[in-house]
Amino acid sequence: MTDPKSATAAFVGLGSMGYGMVQSAIRAGIDCYCRDVRPEPVERILADGAKGALSAETLIHCDVAIVTVLNAAQTKEVLFGADGIAQHLPKGAVIVSCVTMAPGVARELEVRCRDVELLFIDAPISGGSLKAASGMLSILASGSPEAFAAAGPVLDAMAETVFELGDTAGTASAMKAVNQLLCGVHIAALGEALTFAATQNIPPEQFINVISKCAGSSWMLENRGPHIVAGDYTPHSAVNIWLKDLEIAGTLAEQAGASTPLMIAALDQFKAAADAGLGGEDDAAVVKIYAEAAGVTLPGTKE
Amino acid sequence: MTDPKSATAAFVGLGSMGYGMVQSAIRAGIDCYCRDVRPEPVERILADGAKGALSAETLIHCDVAIVTVLNAAQTKEVLFGADGIAQHLPKGAVIVSCVTMAPGVARELEVRCRDVELLFIDAPISGGSLKAASGMLSILASGSPEAFAAAGPVLDAMAETVFELGDTAGTASAMKAVNQLLCGVHIAALGEALTFAATQNIPPEQFINVISKCAGSSWMLENRGPHIVAGDYTPHSAVNIWLKDLEIAGTLAEQAGASTPLMIAALDQFKAAADAGLGGEDDAAVVKIYAEAAGVTLPGTKE
């Protein structure tokens, strides 16, 4: 399989990342069959050009199955649960697992797939929902050469860059944990610095305009800063995601003897945000914890 | 004064930033007179096209004096000490103060300059030594409209962007403190994540290549990461700088009631690096504290 136009792909999970990835696959000419626990995004993606809903009958035709659910437990259920997709996929099909999980769990899933003659790519993603929808994700991927050969065109349809990091599952998940450590620290640091700036009579918009051109910038500052300036906490990636992802990174680092004082300080802020009822808001809402402590009023909040 | 070719500028301090700034000014056609406590960089900059060494006689001809020494105490000495330049500059000349200092100190210097009929721009810089040498700095600037009018062409010669942040000294220094908080956190986070990656068998070079394309990237990661990959800790900006700059930011934040847990965690790492004798090395050397704790061997260090 080399031409994406001859590929047929199953997608499980139509959240902010998964939905955009299907859109990119459709644009590349891939036949897409989709499933989500909610009916609404399935109906919407069918209207957007997906071939059909995912079922035992349609799974038989899928060469590749992309899983973009919330966590490792959901991934296991999707693959090997009572109505798991593994039992319906044709032999030799590839599972592309995009969920952030511990490397050990990714390796375990690879072995279980091999046992039922399926290929597996550990393929966590980075880049946010806009890049998912434009086919410009970074995909951190590790798996067997056979799995890459079979899934390559579908991965390429969704990604600006596919980093092939190794020939077994786990390596990509480890890289994702490292990336998430940085992302979590940078989001919390954005909240810390933006609030500090506000106490110095530097408004959020000026802070973002200036610092994004200075050495203090980060991908997260440029991406999440405008959410705070607009006072818009519609979740692209929610506060609760960081409780999960930094827990995975923290456990892995602790097992390896790596010290992570900045990550722990960042996690404390996300925990405080979740405790304050902000768990479902956009992760930029961690700034509200800083702002409240300093008595700073943010855009979009009442005086 | 609108044409830089008719401007004459004094430069005090030829460190990694100041030296490059003079080079950019020379390229723009500005007559540059230079001073440093060390004779070597003065000789070198004269060979590079500076007009002469700075003295009581040459100061009389300078419209603008750019101060790029180490700290506020040195700046005060340069301006108002026994052989201070303020007494020799013509009335109406502009002091451009590029040193990172507390906003209150910058305001104090502005007042003292006004008392002797000199203009003052609070003008901390961001961008690193390469951008200084290529005239592509970001200059965070605040001061009176008269000061900007007089110093504008010289600032433009050294900067990609001059952010005019307000009409009195202090605002720019506050923005610089905010920027430094982020820079310090991002450098320490780079060390934390790179070491964590190494414990997962992800080598530093692969870490930088991949993460710089992912959401975990930062200006500091892209700029300092290659130093670690090369094992080259020649100081562009030294560990000791962060003890000073984060102290300034921390004091200011504390006075304003802003909480800075990530900055404090980062400062702890820089203090540990200085305690380990790394204060004069490039600030990327903070990674060595993480690496030693985790038993990780970095490029360029012995097994």
Per-residue pLDDT tens for B256-291?
999 999 999 999 999 999 999 999 999 999 999 999
Dihedral, CA of residue A9, residue A13, residue A14 and residue A19, to nearest 10: -50
Q: Any CB–CB contact under 8 A between B192 and chain A?
A: yes
Distance set, CA B29 to CA B15, B90, B185, B256, B277 (Å): 21, 21, 38, 43, 42
State whether residue A161 is helix, strand or coil: strand
Q: Which amino acid is at B186?
A: H
Range list of β-strands (E), chain A = 8-12, 31-35, 52-53, 64-67, 94-97, 119-122, 125-126, 137-143, 159-164
Q: Which two tokens stand for residue A94?
A: 């590839």
What is the distance between the alpha carbons of residues A302 and B283, in angstroms, rounded to a whole number? 41
Question: Which of B138, B178, B265 is facing A262, going by the closest CB pair?
Answer: B265
Closest CA to A144 of A120, A167, A177, A113: A167
The domain limits of chain A are: 4-169, 174-294
pLDDT at res. A6: 75
Query: What is the C-alpha separation between B177 and A187, in angstroms, rounded?
Result: 18
Contact B219 A215 (CB under 8 A): yes
Task: Categorise residue B222: left if φ over 0, alpha if ψ from -120 to 50, beta otherwise.
Answer: alpha
Backbone angles phi, psi at B217, to 5 degrees: -80, 160
Q: Span A174-294: which CATH code? A: 1.10.1040.10
Could you report the average pLDDT of every consecutive run of 10 residues in chain A (303 residues)?
73 95 97 97 98 96 96 97 96 97 97 98 92 95 97 95 96 98 98 98 97 96 98 94 96 98 98 98 98 96 63
Q: Which of residues 79-108 of B touch A (CB under 8 A)?
A: 103
pTM of the full structure: 0.93
> What percent of chain B lies above the pLDDT cut of 90?
93
A176, A213, A244, A302: the active-site residue: A176
Closest by Cα among B284, B255, B257, B280 to B269: B284
Q: What DSSP element (H or E) covers B104?
A: helix B103-115
Q: What pLDDT is stored for residue B1 in this prediction?
A: 45
Half-sphere exposure of B206 (CA within 13 A, CB side): 19
Minimum-distance CB partner of A199 among B182, B215, B257: B257
Test mutation, B131, B165, B217, chain A, max A CBs within 10 A = B217
Q: Is the pLDDT of residue B110 over 80?
A: yes
Question: Is a pLDDT exceeding 60 seen at residue B2?
Answer: no
CB distance from A195 to chain B under 8 Å? Answer: yes
The answer, for B161 touching chain A at a CB cutoff of 8 Å, is yes
Per-residue confidence (pLDDT) for residue A4, from 0 to 100: 59
Q: What is the reported pLDDT for A207? A: 98
Distance of CA B3 to the CA centre of its chain: 26
Question: What fold characterizes domain B173-294?
Answer: N-(1-d-carboxylethyl)-l-norvaline Dehydrogenase; domain 2 (1.10.1040)
Q: A140, A180, A192, A222: which to substitute to probe chain B, counting the most B Cβ within 10 Å? A: A192
Rounded to the nearest integer, the mean pLDDT of chain B is: 96
Q: How far apart are CA A283 and CA A300, in angstroms?
A: 16
Q: Do A192 and B185 touch (CB under 8 A)?
A: yes
Output DSSP code: residue B13: -
The DSSP letter of residue B285 is G
Residue B176 designated active-site: yes
Say what the pLDDT of residue B91 is. 97
| Per-residue model confidence (pLDDT) at position B5 | 62
Whether B207 has a pLDDT exceeding 60, the answer reads: yes
DSSP tally for chain B: helices H, then strands E: 13, 9
Q: How far is CA A242 from CA A15, A177, A267, B221, in A?
A: 16, 11, 7, 21
Is B4-168 assigned to CATH 3.30.2010.20?
no
B213 touches chain A (CB under 8 A): yes
Contact call for residues A192 and B260 (beta carbons, < 8 A): yes
CATH architecture group of domain A4-169: 3-Layer(aba) Sandwich (3.40)
Indicate the pLDDT class of residue B129, thresholds 50, 70 and 90. confident
User: A195: Cβ–Cβ under 8 A, 6 or more apart, which residues?
Assistant: A287, A290, A291, A293, A294, A296, B258
Q: What is the pLDDT of residue A206?
A: 97
Minimal C-alpha gap between B253 and chain A (Å): 6
